[in-house]
Structure 1
Amino acid sequence: MRRFDFPVDLPHAKAVNQTLADVRRLRWSAIFVGVVCIAGAVGLFLLGDAWAYIVAAVLAVAAATSVWVALWAPRKVGTIEQLYRDSPLVPAVVAAERARGLTLLALVDIAKPETSGRHFALVTRNVEAVPGHRIAIGERVPCAAVLSDRTTRNDSGVWQMVGPMPIAWGTRDQKVIADAVAQIPEVEWRVLKDKLTMVDQVDATNERRLELASKELPPELR
């Protein structure tokens, strides 16, 4: 697995990194739901009716679940430094412009470590902005591919969830970004260039990814 180690600019990452923003939204949503459920449970308990006790108990369980999610989400994802350090470096390019941002098209090996061979897939991600990069179709955007599973019962041999996270969301240093681009073999960049027209097809899938058959890849990546 190819990794790229660099000093993460935390203030910058907290300001622009959408992965962190997604975790924050999930956490605050869980806290809000938990507070609402607790308030509802208390109100029903004070009614003193048998049915109210039952509903209050259900709300209490929901509140406990929400609190657990609020505590679990940041630990599950890890710190931004851990994400960049532990996630593979992958190529991505600006594939489309949208009214409120861009669509990135990435090439990611989604095979798990215990899986024999590689399983390359095209992956899309809509982003609001990628500081330090031109808004131009084909612009090279090196990313860390955040890989995870939805459940512990996944035995498919490939990761269920893939999220390209631009290196530029972790640093403002143009040299660092250029070094990341240089560490990715040119053959991988060429694949993305050749597959740019598939961005809408990939983006329309449920998982926003499309596995590539071996014959669709150059010999170096088979």
Structure 2
Amino acid sequence: MVLTACDGARPGAGAGAQADEATRTPSAGAAEATRVPGVGDRWHTRIPAASEQVVAVYGEGVNSPDATVVFYEKRGSTWARARSWPAHNGKKGWTTDHHEGDNRSPVGVFTLSDAGGVRADPGAKLPYTRSPAFAAPRWWAESHWHDFDYVIAIDYNRIKGTSPNDPTRPEGRHKGGSIWLHMDHGSGTSACVSLSESGMRYLLRTLDPARHPVVVMGDKADLRRSH
């Protein structure tokens, strides 16, 4: 199978070291809200009513590759912040009209249905496909070789219930695809969102199909929009 990863990425050399994890479990009652913090009506209304787990990706700016991933769980009527990690998104930032090769991550709310990677299933609750086909080519920069050891498919222009590396793109190839949460290499991606290995392992073990997890992702300014 031909690798179709991170919008068909072909990363170059020179990426930095993998970002360190910055996990934090808040004290009781801290950082709780009846809405996902920093998300305005435009995007909050697109979170399915049944969703009880949100991976929020807060981009630093529309043209920035830097972001923070925060994991929230719904407890009763409130969203509680559970963990957070430094992260990266598309090397050119964000867009609400993603096209293959634009090196920007798509802004929006997307379900999370399938996972996989080169390495053995770490105890994922999402369906997990282990395959050597996920491996980054060895002609990529060495800093990228482990990017796809663990991946979680973002349900953008893909068919749910298939392996993350299924190349089918219902909206056409021009709209890009194979956009994942995956392991970080220390710099911006082609369209995916990357975070530390420990962060990926935590999400794989925690995201539960029965709780209808979604990712809410974009630059902070766009995420705050009310309409």
Query: For the superposition of Structure 1 and Structure 2, which TM-score range results when normalised by the shorter chain?
Result: under 0.3
- Specify which structure has the bigger relative contact order, considering alpha-carbon pairs within 8 angstroms and separated by 6 or more residues: 2
Which is helix-richer, 1 or 2? 1
TM-score normalised by the chain length of structure 1: 0.23
TM-score normalised by the chain length of structure 2: 0.23
Greater Rg by CA = 1
Which is strand-richer, 1 or 2? 2
